Amino acid sequence: MKAQMQKNILENKLLPLRRGYVGIVNRSQRDIEGKKDIKAAMAAERKFFLSHPSYRHLADKCGTGFLQKALNAQLTNHIRETLPQLRNKLQSQLMSLEKDVSEFKQFKADDPNAKTKALMTMLQIFNNDFEKVIEGSGDVVSTHELSGGAKISKIFHERFPYEMLKMEFDEKELRREIGYAIQNLHGIRVGLFTPDMAFEVICKKQISNLLSPALKCVDFTVTELFAVLKNISEKLSRFPALRDEG
């Protein structure tokens, strides 16, 4: 029964895998202590699969030698698939570096235009890094805490609703205010319809109540933006005066 189950596994029937299974025979502790070399172990392994009635038909697809060939083939295919993309990336980086080198060859320390261009380049890089952090497409992704755009999104979608729920709301008082607003807008007249102005007055007052939680969220957002700017400005460590001024 055990041999039949092992046979089904090696035939990829019991628990099928995309690349199937490869059966091997490892050296035992006795073989290691007896200093049985790899060549002799592989020969004994080959003999085992050829002589075993359950595995004889799988002998050509079992063994350390076949496993080595299969792994080499997978590695070769992986390299063949990823090499063009890697080559294109390296070529792109090489072209970028060659362009920088050609510009540096013409660089003059006393040229004011060169200094302005260098400053604009740094500012553009700084701006790109800031956008990446806010949009969530940065090169470095933290797995320990939320930061950047993700933290700001949480402030608006979780913190702001939480602050709104903390607000006290008196329905009776609101109805009373609505009644007073309608009566004051009608004056001495008897109105058949509710004036639009009453709706606007009540809405403006209710919206004004959102000012406090909104300002809290603004403060949280500003704090996070300052943290993002501080982290990005570390790249300007070579220019301490420029970093501190920013």
Predicted confidence (pLDDT) at residue 42 exceeds the cutoff of 60: yes
Task: Give the model's confidence band at 167: pLDDT under 50 very low, under 70 low, under 90 confident, else very high.
Answer: confident
Q: For residue 244, what pLDDT is reported?
A: 61
Q: For residue 76, what pLDDT is reported?
A: 92
Predicted confidence (pLDDT) at residue 72 exceeds the cutoff of 90: yes
- Tell me which residue of 160, 171, 161 sits closest to 220, measured CA to CA: 160
Q: For residue 181, what pLDDT is reported?
A: 75
Predicted confidence (pLDDT) at residue 220 exceeds the cutoff of 80: yes
Predicted confidence (pLDDT) at residue 246 exceeds the cutoff of 60: no
The contacts of residue 164 (CB under 8 Å, 6+ apart) are 210, 213
Q: For residue 222, what pLDDT is reported?
A: 92
Q: For residue 136, what pLDDT is reported?
A: 79
Say if CB 217 and CB 160 are below 8 A apart.
yes
Two structure tokens written together for 155: 């402030």
Q: For residue 192, what pLDDT is reported?
A: 64
Task: Give the model's confidence band at 245: pLDDT under 50 very low, under 70 low, under 90 confident, else very high.
Answer: low
Distance CA 26, CA 14 (A): 23
Of the listed ranges 35-49, 144-158, 179-193, the least confidently predicted one is: 179-193
Greater confidence, 18 or 234? 18
Classify each residue of 104-119 as buried b or exposed e, where b means 16 or more C-beta atoms within 10 Å of its C-beta. Answer: eeeeeeeeeeeeeeee
